[in-house]
């Protein structure tokens, strides 16, 4: 506390003297190398030494996980269990996009950098909220169709005067940190394929690391490293063997040929097999290793992928490679022969834990498959694994072999199976946090089952969603009690997990199952937003809510915190979206889409954000609507094509509420949207490649039926 106050006074006096703030780290070991104050702070002044010392740079939040260890723990404690009650809004900014906001804002020497949906970048004065510049990569909105889980972006990386953002369409773009002007831009994917990028780039030793998504549609996953100055590709590591059987001329060639290819039974699907690296990338400077997670198999159903029992490396695996060359070092496969969409892309966090009396360098992951893994990060050796939520696909993990003790019935080969966790995961992309003073990992967790059934008629559809599942199982029951029972099965919670004991110390339940990422501080607090639109500070010792703020909109992003002039700030992006609000809106708070906001808090903050204007659409007149379509056939076609974005039984309200859309009352208008793509500039492309005019009319008949039932239920 004392150090913070001292630094605060020093910074305040510097500002009074008109010298602006120091460009260097201000407390801890780095203070000794403090850079002399400059007349004008250099924008984006981040180098290797500064990133390596980020842990003791209390004032700033330099990279997405705050430090390379990705613990998302700040030593700041002006906002603490005693003062948090006085936390108020310091400033806010409303954006021009109204879907999921997933970015963690960075703060560097008084400038806050963040991103929104559609990969837009914004730089603000972190103290006042004044917009300094913004950048719109102008992503073709039709690309939105290729984003399984919303058109989100999880933030930027900053390095030596540049800000790096990866756009949804696969471009990696370097911007001038001072002006937002493009320095270089390079395409990192084959844009003719259904690749997207939603993750934040990471900078390691002058290289920009970035992966991509698309496993739900059918692509081949990889992680790339680009030279931060020139934008030239340095290395690329593929997570699945080349489907054509040839070498890629990449550092992954040898291990794919020798280790991975034999685990693909009937071969790698032509579309690539999946394994996309769409979120976590973590760097260990001591071991010079980069760790990343590979996503689910493509198609989801393993029977459509590899012809029987085989592991399909490196799907659903954590992989360690040399940071300079991308050369393979080790891997750990969490879900062999994945058939449930169990990506291993969740937050990978590094720590040193005392296990059996000895310090161990570990990495930790609360995997989508419901198990919490503690792994020796030098060797990839599994130290321990325990389920943090109920798991029905496997009862435990065999520590000797590292393999799950699996329940074969859960593989839905012969009969449908209700399996926990759901494809949403026991934990998804939402960042965790680790409080090293208490030895606790805070997990934004979910308990949710999912009905898996194979699609016996499955055939790969080029460029479309390809799960291999009978998605008609997602149709909702009309019975109210059944709906209530289904809702009750979906639970969200914040778990404080002891990774040494592999047990929860406390669990705080949420009202809904899809909530926000987490940040912890030395003030004894854990910050987390929720589906209901609350931003909450919990006591990290007990899980008790100490402070709550109604942001008026659901929150999914993780917060960050920084200090300027002795004042601590907490920044959070609000804006609900992502996989669950698209595909399962029926289970979540009934709220229309609203513009995202950046909300920044401080002790005594007195700003207020205007209430959102609530728009209630008039009731659709369905009295004269007639259709020759077959609603039963429409149910099947809807769930095979539309439900992942418009929710089961057209119950979605985000993209948009089809049960109340005037489009369903006019056959020509409906066909123009569904087949001809008249709304492609809003992300709704035409489906004529996959649907016939009869399919379209059947779908319309089905939605009209659902709309009539919904109206009757309300009347």
Catalytic residue ranges:
341
Q: Which is nearer to Ca ion, 282 or 296 (CB)?
A: 296
Query: Residue number with the shortest CB distance to Ca ion?
Result: 296
Q: Which is nearer to Ca ion, 284 or 343 (CB)?
A: 343
Q: Which is nearer to Ca ion, 124 or 145 (CB)?
A: 145
Q: Which stretch binds Ca ion (CB under 5 A): 308-316, 340-348, 430-438, 612-620?
A: 340-348
Q: Which is nearer to Ca ion, 337 or 343 (CB)?
A: 343
Return d(Cα 499, Cα 495) in angstroms, integer: 12
- Does 367 engage in binding with Ca ion (CB under 5 A)? no
Half-sphere exposure of 668 (CA within 13 A, CB side): 0
Nearest to 332 by CA among 299, 289, 391, 302: 289
Which residues in 568-587 contact Ca ion (CB under 5 A)?
Answer: none
Q: Going residue by residue from 388 to 407, which x/- string records binding to Ca ion, judged by CB under 5 A?
A: --------------------
**Helices vs strands, H then E, count in the chain:** 9, 37
Return d(Cα 528, Cα 517) in angstroms, integer: 6
Q: Going residue by residue from 262 to 301, which x/- string records binding to Ca ion, judged by CB under 5 A?
A: ----------------------------------x-----
Return d(Cα 559, Cα 572) in angstroms, integer: 5
Count other Cβ atoms within 10 Å, centred on residue 163.
Answer: 29
Which residues in 634-663 contact Ca ion (CB under 5 A)?
Answer: none
Q: Which stretch binds Ca ion (CB under 5 A): 251-259, 343-351, 441-449, 558-566?
A: 343-351
Residues in the chain: 715
- Does 705 engage in binding with Ca ion (CB under 5 A)? no
Q: If binding means CB under 5 A, how many residues of this protein chain bind Ca ion?
A: 3
Q: Going residue by residue from 44 to 73, which x/- string records binding to Ca ion, judged by CB under 5 A?
A: ------------------------------
> Least CB distance from residue 194 to Ca ion, whole Å?
13
> Least CB distance from residue 216 to Ca ion, whole Å?
6
> Least CB distance from residue 574 to Ca ion, whole Å?
25
Q: Which stretch binds Ca ion (CB under 5 A): 90-98, 183-191, 333-341, 533-541?
A: 333-341
- The DSSP code sequence of 475-535 is PPPS-HHHHHHHHHT-EEEEEEEETTTTEEEEEEE-SSS----EEEETTTEEEEE-TTSEE
What SS3 state is found at 65? Answer: coil
R_g (Cα) of the chain, nearest Å: 25
CB 416 within 8 A of CB 451: yes
Q: Which is nearer to Ca ion, 311 or 343 (CB)?
A: 343
Assess whether the previous peptide bond of 314 is cis (omega < 30° from 0): yes
> Least CB distance from residue 166 to Ca ion, whole Å?
18
Q: Which is nearer to Ca ion, 71 or 467 (CB)?
A: 467
Q: Which is nearer to Ca ion, 341 or 455 (CB)?
A: 341
> Least CB distance from residue 450 to Ca ion, whole Å?
13
Q: Which stretch binds Ca ion (CB under 5 A): 179-187, 334-342, 570-578, 694-702?
A: 334-342
> Least CB distance from residue 429 to Ca ion, whole Å?
10
Degrees, nearest 5: CA angle 152-558-343: 60
Q: Which is nearer to Ca ion, 60 or 296 (CB)?
A: 296
Which letter, b or e, does each residue of 665-676 get, where b requires 16 or more Cβ atoms within 10 Å of its Cβ? bebeebbbbbbe
Q: Which is nearer to Ca ion, 147 or 663 (CB)?
A: 147
Return d(Cα 317, Cα 336) in angstroms, integer: 8
Check the CA dihedral 545-61-187-291 and report its sign.
negative
> Least CB distance from residue 390 to Ca ion, whole Å?
20
Structure tokens at 640: 């095979």
> Least CB distance from residue 684 to Ca ion, whole Å?
22
Q: Which stretch binds Ca ion (CB under 5 A): 120-128, 339-347, 503-511, 577-585?
A: 339-347
Q: Which stretch binds Ca ion (CB under 5 A): 336-344, 347-355, 397-405, 621-629?
A: 336-344
> Least CB distance from residue 295 to Ca ion, whole Å?
5
Q: Which of 279, 337, 341, 697 binds Ca ion (CB under 5 A)?
A: 341
CB 215 within 8 A of CB 149: no
Return d(Cα 93, Cα 120) in angstroms, integer: 14
Q: Which stretch binds Ca ion (CB under 5 A): 51-59, 337-345, 394-402, 672-680?
A: 337-345
Q: State how beta strands 534-539 and 289-293 pair.
A: unpaired
> Least CB distance from residue 153 to Ca ion, whole Å?
17
Return d(Cα 241, Cα 260) in angstroms, integer: 7
CB 605 within 8 A of CB 92: no
- Does 343 engage in binding with Ca ion (CB under 5 A)? yes
Q: Which is nearer to Ca ion, 341 or 553 (CB)?
A: 341
Which residues in 512-551 contact Ca ion (CB under 5 A)?
Answer: none
Q: Which residues contact 650 (CB under 8 A, 6 or more apart)?
A: 638, 642, 643, 658, 659, 702, 703, 706, 707
Binding site for Ca ion (CB under 5 A): 296, 341, 343
């Amino acid at each position: 506390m004392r150090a913070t106050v001292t630094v605060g006074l020093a910074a305040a006096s510097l500002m009074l003297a008109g010298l602006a703030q120091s460009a260097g780290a201000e407390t801890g070991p780095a203070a000794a190398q403090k850079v002399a104050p400059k007349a004008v702070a250099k924008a984006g002044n981040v180098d290797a030494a500064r990133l390596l010392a980020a842990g003791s740079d209390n004032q700033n939040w330099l990279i997405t996980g705050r430090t390379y260890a990705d613990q998302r723990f700040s030593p700041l404690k002006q906002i603490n269990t005693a003062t948090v009650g006085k936390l108020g809004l310091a400033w806010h900014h409303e954006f021009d996009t109204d879907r999921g906001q997933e970015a963690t804002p960075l703060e560097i020497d008084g400038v806050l950098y963040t991103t929104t949906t559609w990969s837009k970048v914004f730089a603000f004065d972190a103290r006042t909220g004044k917009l300094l510049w913004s950048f719109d990569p102008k992503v073709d909105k039709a690309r939105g169709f290729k984003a399984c889980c919303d058109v989100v972006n999880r933030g930027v990386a900053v390095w030596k005067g540049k800000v790096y953002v990866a756009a949804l369409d696969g471009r990696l773009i370097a911007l001038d940190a001072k002006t937002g002007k493009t320095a270089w831009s390079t395409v990192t994917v084959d844009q003719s394929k259904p690749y997207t990028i939603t993750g934040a780039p990471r900078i390691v030793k002058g290289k920009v690391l970035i992966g991509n998504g698309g496993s739900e549609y059918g692509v081949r996953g990889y992680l790339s490293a680009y030279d931060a100055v020139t934008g030239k590709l340095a290395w690329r590591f593929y997570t699945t063997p080349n489907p054509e059987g040839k070498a890629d001329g990449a550092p992954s060639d040898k291990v794919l040929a020798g280790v991975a290819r034999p685990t693909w039974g009937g071969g790698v699907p032509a579309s690539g097999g999946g394994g996309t690296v769409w979120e976590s990338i973590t760097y260990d400077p001591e071991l010079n290793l980069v760790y990343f997670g590979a996503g689910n198999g493509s198609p989801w159903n393993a029977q459509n992928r590899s012809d029987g029992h085989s592991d399909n490396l490196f799907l659903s695996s954590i992989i360690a490679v040399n940071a300079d060359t991308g050369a393979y070092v080790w891997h750990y496969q969490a879900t062999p022969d994945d058939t449930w969409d169990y990506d291993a892309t969740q937050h990978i966090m590094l720590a040193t834990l005392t296990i059996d009396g000895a310090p161990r360098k570990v990495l930790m992951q609360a995997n989508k498959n419901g198990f919490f893994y503690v792994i020796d990060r030098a060797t990839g050796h599994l130290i321990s694994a325990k389920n943090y939520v109920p798991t029905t696909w496997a009862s435990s993990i065999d520590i000797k072999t590292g393999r799950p003790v699996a329940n074969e019935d859960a593989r839905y080969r012969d009969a449908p199976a209700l399996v926990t966790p759901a494809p949403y995961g026991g934990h998804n992309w939402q960042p965790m946090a680790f409080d090293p003073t208490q030895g606790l990992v805070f997990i934004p967790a979910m308990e949710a089952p999912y009905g898996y059934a194979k699609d016996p008629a499955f055939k790969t559809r080029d460029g479309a969603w390809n799960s291999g599942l009978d998605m008609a199982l997602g149709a909702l029951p009309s019975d109210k009690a059944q709906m209530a029972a289904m809702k009750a099965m979906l639970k969200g919670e914040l778990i404080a997990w002891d990774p040494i004991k592999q047990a929860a110390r406390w669990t705080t339940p949420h009202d809904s199952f899809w909530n926000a990422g987490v940040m912890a501080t030395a003030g004894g607090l854990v910050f987390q937003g929720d589906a209901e639109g609350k931003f909450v500070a919990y006591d990290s010792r007990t899980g008790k809510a100490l402070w709550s703020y109604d942001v008026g909109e659901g929150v999914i992003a993780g917060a960050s915190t920084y200090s300027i002039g002795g004042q601590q700030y907490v920044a959070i992006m609000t804006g609900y979206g992502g996989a669950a609000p698209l595909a399962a809106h029926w289970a979540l708070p009934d709220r229309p889409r609203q513009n995202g906001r950046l909300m920044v808090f401080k002790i005594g903050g007195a700003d207020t954000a205007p209430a959102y204007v609530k728009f209630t659409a008039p009731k659709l007149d369905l009295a004269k609507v007639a259709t020759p379509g077959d609603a039963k056939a429409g149910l099947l076609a809807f769930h095979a094509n539309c439900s992942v974005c418009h929710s089961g039984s057209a119950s979605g309200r985000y993209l948009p509420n089809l049960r109340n859309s005037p489009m369903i009352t006019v056959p020509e208008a409906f066909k123009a949207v569904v087949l001809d793509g008249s709304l492609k500039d809003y992300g709704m492309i035409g489906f004529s490649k996959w649907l016939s005019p009869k399919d379209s009319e059947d779908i319309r008949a089905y939605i009209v039926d659902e709309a009539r039932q919904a109206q009757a239920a309300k009347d």
